[in-house]
Amino acid sequence: MAARCTDGGLHVGSSEFQSHLRALRQIDFELAYLVLLTREGLKPLSRWEKPLDEGVLGLLQQMHLATRQMRRTVKTGQEVIETVFSRTLACIRLYEQSFAGTPIDKSPATQRIEGFLFGYPPCCVEQYVRKPYAPNDLADRDREILFHWACPRCKVTPVLLDAYRSIHDLLSRC
């Protein structure tokens, strides 16, 4: 019997959910992957660093994710639109209060807030603040499915990797 996709106890095999998932995958596999990681609760909040049209925002909302698009600026002064989504409005509000209308920066305070909201292990966030991209023992195939840089000898990332890999494999099969 073929494996069925499930999402938090709900069968993703429903034609509506499959349709939404296929539409997201056609836009970008990584977007669909972020959506599933967020829906499963592995990421409290995710950010798509591009604007999404109303149709895609509607898909995310139909998949029970709250969404917001925010204007920010880069160092050149150019405006960019970020899309954030979460299962909870509290995460959206915290991101919005912290970053809406602000210049994009990589300060330690920003890294810590983003790390918390994006579900990164605190040890990895602190290591990244001190020394970005410190060598670790992760295989390239593992690094490719994470959205954070794991700190050396991290105890949390291997647990996350198993869950991330499961979602990544699920999406690859659907």
The token duo for 132 is 């970005």
Whole-model pTM: value is: 0.88
What's the rounded Cα separation, in Å, for the pair 15 and 72? 37
pLDDT band at 7; cut points 50, 70, 90:
very low
Query: Which residues, 6 or more positions from 32, have their beta carbon under 8 angstroms from its beta carbon?
Result: 21, 24, 25, 171
Write a three-state SS string for 27-96: HCHHHHHHHHHHHCCCCCEEEECCCCCHHHHHHHHHCCCEEEEEEEECCCCCEEEEEEEECCHHHHHHHH
* Per-residue model confidence (pLDDT) at position 13: 63
pLDDT band at 9; cut points 50, 70, 90:
very low
Convert the pLDDT of each residue in 101-113 to its tens digit: 999 999 999 999 9
The more confident residue out of 5 and 174 is 174
Convert the pLDDT of each residue in 72-97 to its tens digit: 999 899 999 999 999 999 999 999 99
Is position 1 within any domain? no
| Domain of residue 25, residue span | 6-173
What's the rounded Cα separation, in Å, for the pair 117 and 125? 11
Convert the pLDDT of each residue in 130-161 to its tens digit: 999 999 999 999 999 999 999 999 999 999 99
Domain count, the chain: 1
